């Protein structure tokens, strides 16, 4: 995205490849003044790990993919690469390893597993948990947090 209409998707220090798109909407076979603004990109471009599609339905004002969707792609990439991303394997009925996560993220995961009884102490990130990762009996969860 060093040249062309996708330039606004650039992020310093990250090689990105992508394509902009703008599609005019049709209603009853006739074009309107409404658009789809699109940017799809992947990074790093030499060994792709992530693919992101940004689709803005009927943007207000500017509507070209390179002007509307590409900058949002850039912002998403900056947020993703500024945080440590954890891969959590969730298997129904098996306690995941929540260590290193924020309380908010852990609670979302536990809620998605149907675990409602969660006790916690401290602030920051999770450093200990009961039951331990891999446990099958998940009736009640206790989390210990410490500042980062």
Instruction: Identify the structural domains of the chain with CATH numbers, from first to last.
Output: 4-82 (3.30.450.330), 86-148 (3.30.10.20)
Q: What is the mean pLDDT of residues 57-65?
A: 93
Structure tokens at 63: 């509507």
| pTM, to two decimals | 0.57
Average pLDDT, the chain: 89
The C-alpha atoms of residue 134 and residue 78 are separated, in whole angstroms, by 33
The C-alpha atoms of residue 66 and residue 5 are separated, in whole angstroms, by 5
Q: Is the torsion defined by CA of 32, 35, 36, 41 positive or negative? A: positive
Best mean pLDDT range from 62-71, 112-121, 122-131? 62-71
Higher pLDDT, 64 or 83: 64
The C-alpha atoms of residue 73 and residue 71 are separated, in whole angstroms, by 5
Pair 110, 118: CB distance under 8 Å: yes
């Amino acid at each position: 995205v060093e040249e062309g209409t996708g330039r606004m998707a650039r992020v310093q220090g990250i090689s990105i490849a992508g394509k902009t798109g703008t599609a005019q909407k049709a209603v009853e076979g006739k074009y309107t003044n409404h658009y789809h603004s699109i940017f799809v990109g992947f990074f790093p471009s030499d060994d792709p790990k992530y693919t992101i599609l940004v689709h803005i339905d009927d943007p207000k004002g500017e509507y070209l993919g390179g002007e509307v969707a590409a900058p949002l792609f850039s912002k998403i990439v900056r947020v993703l690469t500024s945080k440590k991303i954890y891969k959590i394997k969730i298997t129904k009925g098996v306690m995941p390893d929540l260590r290193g996560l924020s309380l908010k993220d852990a609670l979302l995961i536990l809620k998605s597993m149907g675990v409602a009884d969660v006790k916690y102490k401290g602030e920051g990130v999770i450093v200990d948990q009961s039951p331990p990762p891999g446990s099958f009996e998940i009736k009640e969860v206790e989390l210990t947090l410490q500042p980062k």
